[in-house]
Structure formats: structure tokens, C-alpha cells
Structure 1
Amino acid sequence: MKKSLPVILVIVALVIVGAFTIKIKRTRTIDWEESFNEKSSKPYGINIFYKELPKLFRDKKIRTVYHQPSSYLAANSEDGWGDHVAQGSYIKVGNSDYLTEYSVDEVLNFVSNGNTLFISDYYFHEKLEDTLGIEIKFEYNPKKDSISELSFTNKSLNYTKIDKNSGDNYFSKFDSINHSILGHSKTDEKRVNFIHVPFKNGSIYLHLQPKVFTNYNLLKGDRYKYVESLISYLPDDNIYFDSYSKYQNSYDGDVEQESDLSWFLDQLAFRWAWYTAVIFGILFMIFNAKRRQRIIKIITPLQNTSVAFVKTISNLYFETKDYKNLIDKKITYFFEKVRSDYNLDTEELNEEFITKLAAKAGKKKEDVKTLINYIKLIQSKREYYEDNLVKLNKYIENFYA
């Protein structure tokens, strides 16, 4: 581990430096998708507008609807099974194409009971347009700066401008007698983009520029005043904010998903502190995942003490000068080897024995005869000297050679 520590530190340093270099060079891209999602803080999300609703409608109940109106409004009707009777204003900003015919019928029924419907979108459901007798067309913006002007028929209300706008939708057909013109959009000429439609006991407000509700426009100058003027047409009543389409799209990942960690990851210092901690953690796990083995003690193998033992014994005999004992043992060991190796009887050391031993050992008869005769000579003596032991050992070693 100590040897690999410098390598780990170098890798971590390179990763951190590389990450900061990429961060400095990378140009942050902005997502301009028109999600109209009330949870999104991106330019064309409507998070700011959604959070301001409680201030615009003080002391009123703000409910977010995550169901089709055909089920939600039906459940919360006088004959329904919901927890209350729906009364107030139903607001829909963008993505209204999800509505089914049953939902259109239920929304119109909701309005018929004296309630209000407000929709801001580029187009509306075909059944809604047919029922109200309206048609919508698109006018391309010829201006290079892509700016459109939005205003109200009531001159006391705030007008505004909207940029990054390729063109405007407008009402090409509506009931000019029963429908009230509330606002206009202007590119090269003024066209109707905001109307009020009385419907039985209630009211419907249709607006054709949902981008005015987005975060980008509300934070730019005093454009928020235009939205305040739009909302001022709604009665001071409970609000039903439609979020069905955005809620459904979230399963497909089309809208922004935020977590509690998202704010920290948006901060450069926090983000790289987090990444560094993760990198160190991973490296720690990798290098500590190796199997740790206890130190194995080195066991010294047993030594062959036979040679040392022989040396010790021979030195003992040599120092005591017991030549007779040594000579007797060497002769005894020699004859024992002859009996075991050559299968010869050593009782009679005669000429026949010498001949057989020389033949089986592959030695010269004269050398064998010299050895055997010297053994017989020593065995006949009573006193022994060092010279006798040395000479006997010489003859025996020559036989073994």
C-alpha cells in the first residue's frame, strides 16, 4: 500500500486538474425547451409563476391537478365521489393538446356551473375550438430581432414585449358580438391573441402566448406586470392548476427532474468537493479490496546432522587414540557391505573368496588380494598404531573408488 500511495495521489491530482480544466473550457449550454413545467427552473419552465400563485390569490386554495379533467372534475362534482366540490378557476399553461374529448366536455361542464377556465397555449383542442366557434392561425415574425409586442385592449393595463419569438398565433375567427377582445399581439400588424368567451353561467379566457408565463420572461425587466394584468381577469377564487401533461411526461424524462442534491451540484465548489470525495472513496475501496494475508513465519528446515555426527564420533575416537576400536569397526562395516552388495560369505578369506570378490566388484585381483591380506594381518595383531588405521583406510577407499 505504501508503494502504491504516490501513484494514487498522482492519479487523483490528474483527475482533479483535468476536471477543472474541462470545467473552465466548457461552455454551459442552456436548455430552451418549452416544457411549461411548474417544477422546472429552466428558462421556459414556469416555476416562478407557479410559486407566485399563492401571493396573487391570497387566502385562496391552490390545488395542483395531476389527473385528466374528465376524472378529476367529475369526481369533485356535486354528484361525484371526491373530497370537495370543485369551484373556482381552472388554469392551464401550455401542453393543452393532451385533453381528450371527455375532458373538454367536463371542463365545459365545470364552466357551465359558474366557474372560470383560463388556457394559454398556441392551439386548443379541436372540439373546444368547434364548440366555441373559433379558429387560430400563425403569423411569421419578419423582424430580425424576433421581438413581438403584446398589449391589452384596456390601455390602463401593462403591455410588454417578448423576444426569441419566431411568430405569433392569433384568432382568425371568433364571435365578434359575444366574444370580447382583451388583447393583441403585433409583429407587422396587430392581431387578436386574447379573448373572453362567456359560456352559460361561467367564463372562458383564451390566450395564445404561453411564453409570457415562463421563468425567462418573468425575470426580464418588468415583463411580469403583463402576467399580473392577465391574471387580474380571473375572479378572486380558488385555483385549480393543471399539471397532468407535465406529470405524465416526467416518466419519459422529458421534463426536468430535481433532487435535493441538485442545488449543491450547481455550485462549482460543492460539486468538485463531492466529485473528489467520490473519487477518493472509489480508489480507497479498490486498493483495500486486495486480500490481506497474515505474515507467514519463516521456518528453518531441519539440517542433516549425520555428517556432523560422524565427524564428532570420529574426532572422539581419534582424540582418545583408540585405534583398535576404529580398525575393528571399519573392517566390520566393510565385510557387511560385501555381504549385502555381492552376496558373498566372509567367514573364509581364502583365494576363492578373493577371486569372487574381484570378479563381482570389477576390481583387479591383486588390489583385492592386498586389501584382504592386510585385513588378515591386522586382525592377527594385538597392538595397533595410527599408521595401521591410515593404511587400512587407504586400501578400503581404493576398493570403493
Structure 2
Amino acid sequence: MGKKTNIYIVIAVITVLALMVLQYNKPKELNWFPSYVSQHKIPFGTFVLHELLDEKFDAIQDVQVPPFEFLNANFEAEGTYFLVNENIKFGGPELEKLLDWTSEGNTLFIASTSFEEDLLDTLGLSTSGLFAGFGEAQKQIHKLVNPNLKPDTAYPFDKDTYSNFFETIDTLNTKVLGIVNNYEDSLALEKKHFNAIRQGFGDGKIILSTFPKAFTNYFILKDNNRNYTAGLLSYIDNSKPVYIDNHYKAGKKFYTSPMYIFLNTKEFKWAYYLVLIGALIYVIFEGKRKQRAIPVVVPLKNQTLAFTRTIANMYYEKGQQKAISGHKIDQFLEYIRSHFYIQTIHREEEFYQNLASRSSHSSDEIKQLFDFLKKLGNQTEVTDSDLTKLNSSIEKFKHKANGK
């Protein structure tokens, strides 16, 4: 190898080492995955909940198997079966087993964003969604309704812009425990959406909550939110055992893959990367062919995306935010025409109603969005903040229109 090649190798090695040092010293990113695992200390784990239950209740038992298997093996078990996860769906036989067990004088406590239709039909319930909309204060507040649990206290939560609630309940047999609504400056709940209820079932009772994140580390440790969680847990009978489900969890209790354990340790991970980089350098400089390679004719690449990005950057660097917003609005109108088959020339009340019915929005939400588009179109100057808000509003419209 020549002198120049050696210089290039030294520069490459120094660059790689510098990048590795920067990455090694970079703060570890927070894991926001909703695992609901009792051993996890990440924001949406339930380590704090498990410690709280151990402290407040006399008999706590972790259940690692499905409820059907546990109740079959422990037919004499009595108390409360406690389940919390992002989504919990039982099969027919398992649901029937749980309901039979509950009717014998036990308590079934489920915290999940959604419930299967068989359970809802059995209890005479139906659910719906509450979306935070396009406003700037995109968070929701929760309250307890029991007079003994400070019903005037509001518990804001800023990590969800969408939540489910019980739209229809059996008013004769159902007791409301908690309510939710979108954030307002007054923290008042003018519209009461029920998201925590209790219903008698045979000689037992069933407690349902559509807000499982109320039992996560992040929620409990933030401000005084622990009072909300403790309020819901106060409906559990302390004199009987509490069976905590560890089967229906989005995350894993432990990882069996050796690579996960290896890469989860910073020192091992970078040692592994160093070996890969060293092997790559060897292949590049020592593994090349000794004879002249046959030239490969590379087909022309599609440069449409690169061209589009270049043009967009030119607009932005020249401060032409007004032109960017115009193109963005035109593209959004074309999206409406091609996806909902609605002409966008005349934007009157009929247009708002048609688009709302086809995109799962209300007429007021559609009108609010198009008023904002009209406002941007009339402005002589558009700021970076306006562009950010425009992009956010359009993405939220598409997100909700697609049923997500």
C-alpha cells in the first residue's frame, strides 16, 4: 500500500474512534415502550405499582400463566384478579372462566385501552374514542368521582392525545369511578366521559378502566398522580388475596436472546461494533481482488426524491416559507380529492360535512383546520412556527382519518 493509502486509513480510524467516543458518552435515550411489566423501571413499566401493592395489601401473588390455566389449577382461589396492559383480549373459554369465578363473590379488575365485544355485550357497555383535536394544549385530564377521593382534583396526562371511554353503560347496575376529558385552562370537565366503572356481577364485581397508564411508573411518580391510582386501587378488598397477572403484557419479563444481553451492556456493545468495523476495514483494504475487476454498469437511480428535497431546501434557505406553505396546502387538497373524492374548489358547509363524514372527524374540527389553512393563505409572511403547526395539523388529520 502507498503512503496516501496509509494516510487515508489513519484518518478513517481516527474518525471512527471519535464517533465511537461521542456515541459512548451520549446520554441513554429514555425507553417509552408501554411494557406494563412489574420488573421494568422504564416510564411505562409497573415496577412502582408492584411495590405499592406489596406495601398496601397483605396477600399479593404474581401469576405467570394465563387466567384460564391458573383458575383451573387453583379452583379454590378467591379475592381479586388484577390485569393491566395496553390491550387485553381473552378467548371465549377464558373469559367465561373468569366471569364464572367473579360471579362466586370475587373481583375482576381490568385496566386496558380496549375490551373484547363479548365482555362489553355481557355487561351492557360500549366504548368510543376521545381525541385531543388540533389545539396546542394536547393533553387530557382525569378525575375521580367518589366524594371521599377529592373529586375536584384534576390529574393531567400529556402523553396521550387519544383515549377510550364508555359511551354506553348499564345505568342501573354500573357505578362510575372516574371520568376523562380534553385539557382546558379551567381544568373543568364540562363533558363527563366515563373511563373507570364498577359493576356487580353475580355475587362479585367487575372494575374496568380504559386508562391503563394510570398504573405505570411515569404516571404514579408525576406530581400528585399517585392519589388517582391509589383511589382506583381502594376499590380492591384488602382482606383477600390479590392475583397480579404477568401473562398479558406487551413487554417481556426477561430476554432469552444472548445478543440482547450482550448489546444491552454499553461496553460489550461497542466492543462488538469495533470488531465489525475492524472486519469491514480488513475486507476493504485486504480482501480486494488481486486482478482487474470487471466493470459494473450501475443503472441510473431515481433522483426524484433527492431533487424534491433539494428544491425544498432551496425554498427554506431563501426564507420562502410562504411558498412552502402554499405547496403543502396544495398537496393536502390533492390528498383530499384523491382519497375522499371530494372537490375542494367550493369550501362551504356542505363540503365540511361531507369531508367530516368520510374522514371520522366532526364538522367543527374540519372547519377549524380549513380556517387555519385559509389564514395561512391570506398571510403575506409565514413563520417557521406556522409551518410546524401546518404540518402537525395535516398529519393529525391523516392519522385520525386512517383510523389510528
Q: Summarize the alignment of residues 191-270 of structure 1 with structure 2, pairs less than 5 Å apart.
A: 191-236=193-238, 237-246=240-249, 250=252, 257=255
What is the match of residue 61 of structure 1? Answer: 60
Q: Secondary structure at the match of 2:249?
A: helix
Structure 1 residues 128 and 278: alpha-carbon distance in aligned structure 2, compared to 1, 3 A threshold? closer
Paired with 1:259 and 1:56, the residues of 2 have a C-alpha distance of 36
The answer as to 2:40 corresponding to 1:34 is no
Q: Secondary structure at the match of 1:102?
A: helix
What is the match of residue 281 of structure 2? Answer: none
Residue in structure 2 matching 1:144, options 108, 120, 136: 136
Counterpart of 2:91 in structure 1: which amino acid? T
- What is the Cα deviation at residue 150 of structure 1? 1.0
Give the gaps of 5 or more residues in structure 2. 1-9, 183-189, 279-404
Whether the aligned pair in 1 keeps the contact of 2:180 and 2:192 (CA below 8 Å) is yes
TM-score, scaled relative to structure 1 = 0.56
Structure 1 residues 41 and 256: alpha-carbon distance in aligned structure 2, compared to 1, 3 A threshold? farther
Greater Rg, structure 1 or structure 2? 1
Deviations 1:249-306 (A, max 9, x none): 64xxxx774999999998xxx94599579979xx9xxxxxxxxxxxxxxxxxxxxxxx
The answer as to 2:164 corresponding to 1:169 is yes
What is the match of residue 377 of structure 2? Answer: none
Whether the aligned pair in 2 keeps the contact of 1:65 and 1:240 (CA below 8 Å) is no
Whether the aligned pair in 2 keeps the contact of 1:54 and 1:62 (CA below 8 Å) is no
Counterpart of 1:62 in structure 2: which amino acid? Q
Whether the aligned pair in 2 keeps the contact of 1:16 and 1:276 (CA below 8 Å) is no
What is the match of residue 296 of structure 2? Answer: none
What is the match of residue 87 of structure 1? Answer: 78
Q: Which deviates further from its counterpart, 203-212 or 40-49? A: 40-49
What is the match of residue 104 of structure 2? Answer: 113
Structure 1 residues 274 and 173: alpha-carbon distance in aligned structure 2, compared to 1, 3 A threshold? closer
Deviations 1:19-53 (A, max 9, x none): 212334x5754332322222322222222212322
Paired with 2:204 and 2:64, the residues of 1 have a C-alpha distance of 20
Paired with 1:240 and 1:110, the residues of 2 have a C-alpha distance of 13
Q: Summarize the alignment of residues 2-401 of structure 1 with structure 2, pairs less than 5 Å apart.
A: 17-24=18-25, 26=26, 28-57=28-57, 59-67=58-66, 69-77=67-75, 85-142=76-133, 143-158=135-150, 159=153, 160-187=155-182, 189-236=191-238, 237-246=240-249, 250=252, 257=255, 271-272=266-267
Paired with 2:271 and 2:166, the residues of 1 have a C-alpha distance of 56
Q: Which deviates further from its counterpart, 227-236 or 39-48? A: 39-48
Paired with 1:39 and 1:275, the residues of 2 have a C-alpha distance of 26
Whether the aligned pair in 2 keeps the contact of 1:184 and 1:193 (CA below 8 Å) is yes
What is the match of residue 290 of structure 2? Answer: none
Structure 1 residues 74 and 155: alpha-carbon distance in aligned structure 2, compared to 1, 3 A threshold? same
Counterpart of 1:127 in structure 2: which amino acid? D
Q: Secondary structure at the match of 1:36?
A: coil
Q: Secondary structure at the match of 2:222?
A: coil
Paired with 1:131 and 1:46, the residues of 2 have a C-alpha distance of 29
Counterpart of 2:171 in structure 1: which amino acid? S
Structure 1 residues 263 and 50: alpha-carbon distance in aligned structure 2, compared to 1, 3 A threshold? farther
What is the match of residue 356 of structure 2? Answer: none
Give the gaps of 5 or more residues in structure 1. 1-8, 78-84, 284-401
Whether the aligned pair in 2 keeps the contact of 1:12 and 1:279 (CA below 8 Å) is no
Whether the aligned pair in 2 keeps the contact of 1:95 and 1:245 (CA below 8 Å) is no
Counterpart of 1:19 in structure 2: which amino acid? M
TM-score, scaled relative to structure 2 = 0.56
State how many pairs are aligned: 263
Kindly, what percent of the aligned residue pairs are identical?
26
Counterpart of 1:75 in structure 2: which amino acid? A
